[in-house]
């Protein structure tokens, strides 16, 4: 898990929209839940490969605020997968130096899910070899609104001056505070949109859309996406110096 292939020109932080579990299952005549189960195996493979390929921060879109509209049985299954993933993988992740963080709204989650989230974060809080972030009950606009409310409360209480608010101050009030912005965003399944995923943080990220369903995404696909990233010139709003 510890990064072994660190390179200067490769992405250090990759964010992935894991799309296509349901379509993968449907193509095999299986329920959508089966696709989500196989998607967890793809998560494990990508976390392992990421460290080997020089990535030291990985953020995965696990459950959006819009996913509550899905059938009750599917939502319950997604929550169950989070429980099983933490129960099965937490100790090995901790031993490998991985820090786990969960991004997203916690209000409205059941007490047992909050306990699982807090246990994972507490157990790995001192690790620094690799950062694994799971966006769960997450919506980008919701994150920005919650950050704005926190800032407004600090201004109202006198803790913060309105004149002191800048991009850095705002970023410190986001769920992702302390994390670098993603260099590369990958979306699987062929869809080409961000779907409310990290809109603030991905302002200058490179986007790669992969026409493969998430359960089939593997190390080779990750390597190809990183290769595409390396072929691009990042100007961050400036001009090409060549």
13-17/184-187 β-pairing: parallel
Tokens representing 87? 């129960």
pLDDT in tens, 197-208: 999 999 999 999
pLDDT in tens, 146-198: 999 999 999 999 999 999 999 999 999 999 999 999 999 999 999 999 999 99
Task: Assess contact for 197 and 181: CB atoms under 8 A.
Answer: no
pLDDT in tens, 36-95: 999 999 999 999 999 999 999 999 999 999 999 998 989 998 999 999 999 999 999 999
**Which band of pLDDT confidence, cut at 50, 70 and 90, is reported for residue 8?**
low
Q: Is 67 assigned a catalytic role?
A: yes
Residues 6+ apart with CB under 8 A from 116: 82, 83, 86
First vs last Cα of the chain: how many Å apart? 36
Q: Provide the residue ranges of all domains of the chain, joining segments of one domain with +.
A: 13-138+182-231
Looking at the DSSP bridge assignments, the partners of residue 13 are 57
The percent of residues above 90 in pLDDT, for the chain, comes to: 87
Q: Would you state the pLDDT for residue 2? A: 35
d(CA 78, CA 120): 17
Place of tokens 């490179």: 206
Q: Is 181 assigned a catalytic role?
A: no
Among 52, 56, 67, 87, the active-site one is 67
Count of H-run helices and E-run strands, the chain: 7, 6
Q: Would you state the pLDDT for residue 105? A: 96
Tokens representing 104? 């997203």
Among 19, 89, 96, 175, the active-site one is 19
Pick the CATH number of 13-138+182-231 from 1.20.140.10, 3.40.1180.10, 3.30.930.10, 3.30.1330.40: 3.40.1180.10
The neighbour count for residue 193, using CB atoms within 10 Å, is 11
pLDDT in tens, 108-142: 899 999 999 999 999 999 999 999 999 999 999 99
């Amino acid at each position: 898990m510890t990064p072994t292939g660190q390179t200067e020109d490769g992405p250090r932080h990759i964010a992935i929209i894991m799309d296509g579990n349901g379509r993968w299952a449907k193509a095999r005549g299986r329920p959508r839940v089966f696709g989500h189960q196989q998607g967890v195996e793809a998560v494990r493979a990508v976390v392992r490969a990421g460290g080997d390929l020089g990535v030291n921060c990985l953020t995965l879109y696990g459950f959006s605020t819009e996913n509550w509209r899905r059938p009750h049985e599917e939502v319950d299954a997604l929550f169950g997968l989070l429980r099983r993933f933490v129960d099965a993988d937490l100790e090995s992740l901790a031993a490998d130096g991985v820090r786990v963080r969960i991004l997203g709204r916690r209000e409205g989650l059941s007490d047992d899910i909050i306990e699982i989230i807090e246990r994972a974060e507490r157990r790995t809080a001192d690790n620094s070899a690799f950062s694994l972030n799971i966006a769960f009950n997450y919506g980008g606009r919701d994150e920005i609104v919650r950050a704005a409310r926190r800032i407004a409360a600090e201004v109202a209480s006198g803790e913060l001056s309105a004149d002191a608010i800048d991009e850095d101050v705002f970023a410190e009030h986001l769920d992702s505070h302390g994390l670098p912005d993603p260099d590369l965003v990958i979306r699987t399944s062929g869809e080409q949109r961000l779907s409310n995923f990290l809109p603030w943080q991905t302002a200058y990220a490179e986007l790669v859309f992969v026409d493969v369903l998430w359960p089939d995404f593997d190390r080779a696909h990750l390597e190809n996406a990183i290769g595409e990233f390396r072929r691009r010139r990042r100007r961050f709003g400036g001009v090409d110096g060549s």
